[in-house]
């Protein structure tokens, strides 16, 4: 009779331990929706003068003025846009800018004699302007 009592006590204790351990090991699982991450999309890259006038390949360049490379982006007003780094080259030198909003970024550049080239690395878009130094002009009367 003592053996049956001990056996029943042991089985009861074992059932309690097994029942309690299952509750402790199970943590609640929380399902979270994945947010879609959106980067800015580059719209254009171009040269500007110090008055923010867009320069074309045939613009007259005054070497005494300041010039800029301007990069513009779009984000389609998506609230989940993350900061986006845009890599470009200016006359072969690698540079980058980081967009945290859709405002254009202007970076000052020093133009050199001859062809000046700026290119986006992401899509290969290129724009050029040509600088002729004033010493190469001849006044004709």
Q: What is the CATH number of the domain that holds 58?
A: 2.60.40
46 part of a folded domain:
yes
Number of domain units in the chain: 1
Rounded to 5°, the CA angle 134-140-141 comes to 135
47 part of a folded domain:
yes
pLDDT digits (tens, 9 = 90+) for 56-90: 887 888 888 899 999 998 876 666 678 889 999 99
23 part of a folded domain:
no
78 part of a folded domain:
yes
- Please say whether the beta carbons of 113 and 40 come within 8 A: no
6 part of a folded domain:
no
pLDDT digits (tens, 9 = 90+) for 83-120: 889 999 999 999 999 998 888 999 999 999 889 999 99
Whole-number Å distance between alpha carbons of 88 and 85: 10
Whole-number Å distance between alpha carbons of 99 and 70: 12
8 part of a folded domain:
no
What domain range includes position 68?
A: 41-133
45 part of a folded domain:
yes
Residue with the bigger pLDDT between 58 and 15: it is 58
pTM for the full model?
Answer: 0.65
């Amino acid at each position: 009779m003592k053996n049956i009592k001990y056996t029943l006590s042991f089985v009861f204790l074992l059932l309690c331990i097994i029942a309690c351990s299952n509750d402790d090991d199970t943590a609640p699982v929380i399902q979270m929706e994945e947010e879609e991450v959106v980067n800015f999309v580059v719209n254009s890259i171009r040269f500007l003068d110090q008055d923010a006038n867009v320069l074309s390949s045939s613009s007259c360049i005054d070497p005494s003025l300041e010039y800029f490379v301007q990069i513009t982006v779009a984000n389609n007003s998506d609230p989940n846009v993350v900061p986006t780094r845009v890599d470009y080259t200016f006359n072969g030198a690698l540079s980058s800018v980081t967009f945290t909003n859709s405002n254009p970024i202007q970076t000052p550049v020093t133009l050199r004699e001859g062809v000046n080239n700026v290119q986006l690395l992401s899509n290969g878009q290129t724009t050029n302007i040509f600088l002729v130094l004033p010493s190469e002009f001849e006044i004709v009367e």
